[in-house]
Amino acid sequence: MKRKWGYAVAGVAVLVIAGAMIYQALATSLVYFVLPNEYAAEPERYDARRLRLGGIVADQSVAFDESDLRLTFLVTDGIVSFPVSHFGAPPDLFEENVGVVIEGHFEGEVFMSDNVLVRHSEVYEAEEGVIDVEALRESLK
């Protein structure tokens, strides 16, 4: 009888340890999707977390330095804008006034990107400078 209890306790311990390991793996691999105004409202919520920041590439904000492959631009949701720094060539469909989702993290007020995704299906286009935040969020998902 004692032997059965020992196996039961060992089995429960193994399940608890496995559950804790799975939880830790999932918690560290999550990438949150936010719009610039959502980040600006609660930046401490996203401290030291990898993010997907979605928005529109702002007019006349794109600069690409071919010598060091540094792409810089502003991403906006019509409410808040953040500067983005990305190392690497821009994607083929990348241009001003197009929806993008960028992956990376914030260093101060600058979003340091390591991946730029351009949305080419169901492209959201702002009408004369007016950006519908909900329509933008839906188009970038």
pLDDT digits (tens, 9 = 90+) for 66-85: 888 999 999 998 899 999 99
The enclosing domain of 95 has a CATH number of: 2.40.50.140
Per-residue pLDDT for 133 more than 80? Answer: no
Q: What is the pTM of this model?
A: 0.68
> Which pLDDT score is estimated for 1?
72
pLDDT category of residue 124 using cuts at 50, 70 and 90: very low
Q: Do 76 and 64 share a domain, yes or no? A: yes
pLDDT in tens, 98-120: 889 999 999 989 999 989 988 66
Give me the pLDDT at residue 61, please.
92
Domain count of the chain? Answer: 2
Q: Are residues 11 and 68 in the same domain?
A: no
> Which percentage of the chain shows pLDDT scores above 70?
83
Q: How many CB atoms lie within 10 A of CB 4?
A: 8
Torsion of CA 91, 111, 44, 25, to 10 degrees: 50
Q: Is 84 exposed, middle or buried (0-12, 13-18, 19+ CB in 10 A)?
A: buried
47 and 19 fall within a common domain = no
Q: Which domain holds residue 108?
A: 31-140
